[in-house]
Amino acid sequence: MSARPMNIAAAFDPERVRRDFPILDQLVNGHPLVYLDNAATTQKPECVIEAISNYYRRDNANVHRGVHTLSDRATHAFEQARQTVADFLGSPRPEQLIWTSGTTAAINLVAYSWGRSTLQPGDRVLVSWLEHHSNIVPWQLVAEATGAEVLPIPVTDSGEIDLGALDSLLDARVKMVAVNHISNALGTVNPVQEIARRAKAAGALVLVDGAQSVAHWPIDVTALGCDFFVMSAHKLFGPTGIGVLWGRASLLDAMPPFLGGGEMIERVGFPTTTYNTVPFKFEAGTPNIAGAIGMAAAIDYLATIDREAAAEHEAALLARCLDLAGEVAGLRRVGTPAHAAGIFSFLLEGTHPSDVGMLLDQQGIAVRTGHHCAQPLMDRLGIPGTVRASFSIYNTQEDVTRLFEGIRKAKSLFS
């Protein structure tokens, strides 16, 4: 076996990767597109677009219910996609993968199915101040219905979960700890394995929101030690409207159905109905077949990329970003975690984030502005929002240079 080059990032070729993403080859407002909104959604390679298109051109049919050839082909592709995602997440069995419309739907499924059937008055669910609204509001709604409480795990000024504070909250009343793997607002990489270890020691279950992490490095749900793992395809170079819930088999078996309708039944009758087995028990109605196929195609595409080298490339982009940020007077990075993914959130003195975002867009640079569906975190930090640049495998050092040229230009207009 040949030795890996010393500089892995140098061995990674983002320009080659860029050629796989047709949307990047365009002008926006007269400038070459610099797409830095990857934490919101990633772009799609040609192979994903083709996989979806080919399904509709050749195999379009409903799954599981037909005896004709098109239905057989669609069912095979759909269930093969489940196997592909299961392998990608290190799931012991594909049946532990539930198709959902995305991360938000997956969290709601756990909250309403597990939460409504399990939580009682006085029970507690812990979420961190770093969470996306989709990992807060479903728990609050279920808590209102069951008499449980939702408590925030404190975070430090640098934007990291305070593990000591977590320990002080963990007791017999805590039934669930739900945290994200990476903060979508700050890029903080949370120590979810350690959080899971501490939560399990206190008798709590653990849900990990992996929406941001799956595009950055391989995931092994067993090694993470969580009970539930949720993700979306559209942040993984796949289509919108499709995601998965992975769950521990014994928990999924015990949970009641979340939605009623076709596919999730064994037999419908009066006065009672019996339900299908996992995973179909949670997959009422016609699923997003093309989305599942597109998600599998995205995972197959990632398998062609050296993900360790890609991760180092993204880290180099963030490092260059931080270096250039130090040269801009009045620019303040928001969140300084010791371990961060490719997200750079910042404020520019004398400007509003939305104004900076619009001025960057005029230069063909796409960033995200606002509270990033993390209003409690913004309240904790005492700010209304940030400008967020987020990096992916097809971003380049030139993109970072363009970003800071744009920031300096925006700053000059407010001087």
First-residue to last-residue Cα distance in the chain: 57
Tokens found for residue 214 = 């799956």
Annotated active-site residue 226? The verdict is no
Q: Are 104 and 135 in contact (CB under 8 A)?
A: no
- Rounded distance between C-alpha atoms, residue 221 and residue 388, angstroms: 28
Q: Is the dihedral of CA 78, 107, 182, 361 positive or negative?
A: positive
Buried b (16+ CB within 10 A) or exposed e, 365-394: bbbbbbbbbbebbbebbeeebbbbbbbbbb
What backbone torsions phi and psi does residue 128 show, to the nearest 5 degrees? -95, 165
- Residue the block writes with tokens 């949307």: 23
Strand partners, 124: 149, 174
Any residues with CB less than 8 A from the CB of 356 and at least 6 apart, and which? 348, 367, 369, 387, 407, 410
The β-bridge relationship of strands 124-128 and 149-153 is parallel
- Amino acid present at 36: L
Q: Which of 40, 45, 3 is nearest to 20 (CA)?
A: 45
Q: Which of 82, 86, 24, 77 is nearest to 54 (CA)?
A: 77
- Rounded distance between C-alpha atoms, residue 68 and residue 99, angstroms: 24
Q: Give the active site residue among 47, 226, 321, 373.
A: 373
Q: Which of 168, 232, 157, 167 is nearest to 194 (CA)?
A: 167
CA 293 to chain centre: 18
- Rounded distance between C-alpha atoms, residue 149 and residue 139, angstroms: 9
* DSSP one-letter code for 209: E
Q: Is 81 helix (H, G, I), strand (E, B) or coil?
A: helix
CA dihedral 101, 304, 90, 118 (to 10 degrees): -20
Q: Which of 235, 232, 180 is nearest to 206 (CA)?
A: 180
Q: Are 254 and 122 in contact (CB under 8 A)?
A: no
Measured at the CA of 203, the angle between CA 202 and CA 204, to 5 degrees, comes to: 100
Residues forming the active site: 373
